[in-house]
Structure formats: C-alpha cells, structure tokens
Amino acid sequence: MELVVSIGIGVLVGSGVWLLLRPRTFQVVIGLCLLSYAVNLFIFSTGGLRSGAAAILAPGEAGSLAQYADPVPQALVLTAIVIGFATTALLLVLLLAARGLTGTDHVDGRERGR
C-alpha cells in the first residue's frame, strides 16, 4: 500500500511541476492544485496507513497506541483542503481579471509570435 501511495505522490508532483512550467495561466493554476494534492497526500500518509483503525480513543480503554490512527495529519489535511480551495478560487478570479485586462492568458502577458 505504501508503494502505491508513494507512486501516486510522485505522479502528482511530476505532473504539477510540468504544468507549472507551461505558458498559460490556467495550466499553472492546475499545476498548483496538483502540487497541493500531492502535499496533502504526503501529510496524510505520515499518520500511518491503517485501515479500520479508530482515530479517537474510547473512554476507559487503555491499550497499545499502535492500534489507533493519528488524528493530527487528518486535521492538517482537512485544513489544507479548505485553504487550497480558497486559494484556487482567488487564483481563478485573478486569472479572469488578468485575461480581461490584457486579452491573453499567457503568464508573461504576451503570446509567442506577436
């Protein structure tokens, strides 16, 4: 399972970096989203990949902490998802405003061949 998650993180990072280097602003925004998804998946995987493990200790039940999932990475990822959504919305609004002002969606403001 760890190998599949590691490969998924690597594919997301590689795709995100490739899209960040593209000349159009929408592709840059999508690249930033993919990078944030990769970071979220990495943070989530640091808590340990356990299926069926409870994240909250039952009252009066003391036992080995190895049978429980760590809730801190889950809370961090949930917060990062909300912040990433707000950032993406802001970037899309800026993209539309810049396209309206300049007439192009290139990162540097001018198209090749002009």
- Rounded to whole angstroms, the Cα distance separating 105 from 29 reads 12
Model pLDDT for residues 77-99, shown as the tens digit of each residue: 999 999 999 999 999 999 899 88
CATH class for the domain made up of 2-49+70-102: mainly alpha
Sequence ranges of the domains in the chain: 2-49+70-102
Provide mean pLDDT across the span 17-24.
Answer: 92
Q: For residue 103, what pLDDT is reported?
A: 84
Residues 29-57 have pLDDT tens digits of 999 999 999 999 998 888 776 666 666 66
Output the pTM of the full model.
0.77
